[in-house]
Amino acid sequence: MDADEFWICATCGVEHARRPDVCAICDDERQWVPADGQRWTTLADLAEGGTTIDVVEAEPDLYHIRTRPPVGIGQWSKLVRTRAGNLLWDPPGYIDDAATAAVADLGGVAFVVASHPHMFGVQIEWSRAFGGVPVLVAEADLGWVERTDRCIRPWSDDVEILPGITLTQPGGHFPGSAVAHWAAGVDGRGVLLAGDTVYANPDRRSVSFMRSIPNHLPLSGAVAERIAAHVTRFAFDRLYSLRGGLIDESASSIVRTSAARHSAWARGDFDHLT
């Protein structure tokens, strides 16, 4: 491989500068390695296999970016447009010329940010496609970066990266697990891009707080309450999480009540129902 070549874990979709025996991100209690062993792929292999990217409007100035078929975890990445530049949130594990052109038509990318290491995708490739824009990685999670580049910049606490878009780190799933608050979303009522730091449940009336979603490992009640208190400092009516997860109204209230429910079950308040 030359300096510009790299490997992509087929299970999580995260770029690696080298090909170890196993992807460290997957060989962890929050993720998984396939029963038939570690598998690797490349952008060329994915393109040859027919992988494409859809860019679909979710609401004004917010777009889903989805690989088809899904690459790795298959996150629905988000592009948020502002007059000062665009945020690419939870970048996909794939990029091609058509996707680059589609995003360029929407104003390009000013920052690339993943909510946590499972969502790193091919973040450096997305940066390079738009002139080497900053890839912001939570300082607490820098050790999970498997491909380095000068575009990577650590961050922590609360950072307003674009007017009306603030990154913040409630932690939980990973110590640096982050969300992005978009104040202008939903006619000014606010949107929270939550990755799976806060996971929108299929009932669309509750959220979950998990250390591992695929391995069904919950966080403690105390951490769930801490995360809820942290994110509800911001005003938001809608919440987008991993893949198509969506709370389409009253999301801030739902986060608070879901954390209280989580904590109550963890304490044993409802053991009589079991």
pLDDT of residue 151: 98
CA atoms of 201 and 53, how far apart (whole Å)? 25
In the numeric block, which tokens belong to residue 38? 């570690």
Give the bridge partners for 40, in sequence order. Answer: 9
CA atoms of 194 and 172, how far apart (whole Å)? 12
Please say whether the beta carbons of 75 and 243 come within 8 A: yes
Q: How far is CA 7 from CA 12, 125, 183, in A?
A: 12, 12, 37
CA atoms of 11 and 2, how far apart (whole Å)? 24
Residues contacting 183, CB < 8 A, separation 6+: 164, 165, 166, 190, 234, 235
pLDDT of residue 1: 38
- Could you give the dihedral angle defined by the CA atoms of residues 144, 26, 214 and 212, in that order, rounded to the nearest 10 degrees? -30
16: nearest Cα among 43, 35, 49: 43
Q: β-strands 199-200, 191-195: how paired? A: unpaired
Helices 251-267 and 221-231: crossing angle in degrees, nearest 10, is 170
Burial zone of 243 (CB within 10 Å; 0-12 exposed, 13-18 middle, 19+ buried): middle
* pLDDT in single tens digits along all 274 residues of the chain: 344 789 999 999 999 999 999 999 999 999 999 999 999 999 999 999 999 999 999 999 999 999 999 999 999 999 999 999 999 999 999 999 999 999 999 999 999 999 999 999 999 999 999 999 999 999 999 999 999 999 999 999 999 999 999 999 999 999 999 999 999 987 889 999 999 999 999 999 999 999 999 999 999 999 999 999 999 999 999 999 988 999 999 999 999 999 999 999 999 999 999 9
In the numeric block, which tokens belong to residue 234? 């911001």
pLDDT of residue 92: 98
Task: Report which DSSP code applies to 218.
Answer: E
157 Rama sector, left if φ>0, alpha if ψ -120 to 50, beta otherwise: left
Give residue for tokens 């970016």: 65
Name the phi and psi angles at 144, rounded to 5.
Answer: -90, -5
In the numeric block, which tokens belong to residue 211? 């250390």
pLDDT of residue 185: 83
H helices, E strands: number in the chain: 6, 20
Q: What CATH number labels 7-273?
A: 3.60.15.10
